[in-house]
Amino acid sequence: MILLINPKTTKSTEINVEYFREPNLGLLYLASILEDQGIIVDIFDLEQFYPLNDSELEGIIKNKIRGYSFFGLTTLTNNFYYTLKIIKIIRRLVPQSVIILGGPHTSFLYEDILNMENLVNYICVGEAEQSFPELLEILKNEAYQDLTIPEFELILRDVKGIAFKNRDEKIEFTGTPEPINVDSLPLPARYKLVHEHYHYRVASIIINRGCPNQCSFCSRQNLFKTPRIRSIPSIFEEIRDIISLQNYTYINFYDNININRQFFNDFCEMFLKNNINIPWGCELRVDSITQEEARLLKQAGCHLIATGIESANPEVLRKNFKYQDPKEVMRGLKYLKQVEIPIQAYFVLGLPGETENTFLQTIQFIKQLPFDVNDRINYFIATPYPGSRLWIEQEGFGISIFEKDFSKYDCEHVIFQTNELSRNQLETLQQNAKKVESYFQQDDIK
């Protein structure tokens, strides 16, 4: 039997009783694919045990992993060390098990991880919907049990998208697999999620993979090199599936729904033509939103728009390959507020090119936004995630990464300093940025 594990990722500051973090779609897709192939698979999602302390969680982990011989874990950068803790528990209690790791962090640092105490057997690099099932089929096939190590490794090399340590203790990567056809994927196996402690009320739907933009702080363009957009019928089928489960009261759509203007219009029309009335929110670029498109979003029932604005300084944006005009951003936001759609706006402090003056410019921009108490500002600290251009091109961006503790790669800790701003300066500006987050929740701002 196979157990797919989603380590706890939510920080205490993120827990919101009404709109909690959504399930991990990567594992839900894998579970669905494996079930279609007749493989018994379970999901252990530690997010559903978020109120428990570390000691209680460890007890549950020890109990849950018994009876399985194959484990698949996903990990982000900031919860990587916690993932390792789970892996060490598995290694201690189920020493002969096979552990397969995947996720954004491991996709870029698979060599370092495979060299760590021989904890992990295999790593799925990038999209795993094809490589993970193929790898499991080989590992579970009794016909391969009597092969010599060289013969077995030869078979492994045919599976594109995996990394492993060979018999010579050298790391091998079998090569990048073909991009997944997102419309060919089955519906995520949400029915596999248990309801012992917490059941999800917010569902997420992926409408595309990959991104045509090249923002310095994002690793998506390296994780998914080919942008792909799902078809409307595929998305509609998943919405109906979510509604039928009855425990979901809200849907978030990822990522930008207006990468393609025709898709955007078809997406909104889908809600109107099919009378879909479950509340939903989405991410999009506001710099290209028209007044007519804002009205269409409202008519389609959109309850929230999340958008990355990052900075109000054109030079900072340009240097970090975020090509948008703050004036067009302001215009798009005004269109959305005219139809009374709440906004969640994201800003990033400390990007290369940021100075105390550009920070003050962004603060002034924020205070001029057409926002009210229904809108939210989130001000994050720039974080060079593995796979991002900030991580890969540190010297070119003029940054110096001094923090090696991945648990602090959470957009809340100062990780690096730049040619323009020292660590102390960034930490001071961060304190001021956090005060701005509550600006529109104050009664006396007018």
- Does one domain contain both 238 and 349? yes
Question: What CATH code is carried by the domain that includes residue 238?
Answer: 3.20.20.70
In a domain, 195, yes or no: no
pLDDT in tens, 280-329: 999 999 999 999 999 999 999 999 999 999 999 999 999 999 999 999 99
Full domain range(s) for residue 305: 201-441
Least confident of 2-16, 129-143, 180-194, 311-325: 2-16
Nearest-angstrom CA–CA distance, 350 and 245: 43
- Single out the residue in 136, 155, 173 at which a domain terminates: 173
In a domain, 131, yes or no: yes
In a domain, 196, yes or no: no
In a domain, 186, yes or no: no
Helices (H) and strands (E) in the chain, counts: 17, 17
- Asked if 205 and 235 count as a contact pair (C-beta separation under 8 A), the reply is yes
- Does one domain contain both 214 and 164? no
In a domain, 105, yes or no: yes
In a domain, 184, yes or no: no
Token pair in block for residue 320: 């970090």
- Does one domain contain both 279 and 360? yes
DSSP output for 193-204: S--SS----EEE
- Does one domain contain both 243 and 389? yes
Which residue in 13, 14, 34 sits closest to 22, CA to CA? 14
Percent helix / strand / coil, the chain, rounded to 5: 40, 15, 40
- Asked if 363 and 436 count as a contact pair (C-beta separation under 8 A), the reply is yes
- Does one domain contain both 289 and 213? yes
Domain count, the chain: 2
Nearest-angstrom CA–CA distance, 439 and 372: 9
- Does one domain contain both 279 and 412? yes
- Asked if 107 and 75 count as a contact pair (C-beta separation under 8 A), the reply is no
- Does one domain contain both 268 and 157? no
- Does one domain contain both 240 and 165? no
Per-residue pLDDT, 11: 53
Nearest-angstrom CA–CA distance, 316 and 364: 16
Q: How confident is the model at residue 18 (pLDDT cuts 50, 70, 90)?
A: very low
pLDDT in tens, 92-136: 999 999 999 999 999 999 999 999 888 999 999 999 999 999 999
Task: Enter the pTM of the model.
Answer: 0.93
- Does one domain contain both 162 and 244? no
**What is the per-residue burial (b if ≥16 Cβ within 10 Å, else e) of 235-261?**
bbebbebbeeeeebebbbbbbbbbbee
In a domain, 187, yes or no: no
In a domain, 240, yes or no: yes
- Does one domain contain both 40 and 91? yes
- Does one domain contain both 126 and 262? no
pLDDT in tens, 344-380: 999 999 999 999 999 999 999 999 999 999 999 999 9
Which residue in 375, 352, 344 sits closest to 441, CA to CA? 375
Find the helix or strand (DSSP H, E) in which 381 lies. Answer: strand 376-381
- Does one domain contain both 106 and 235? no
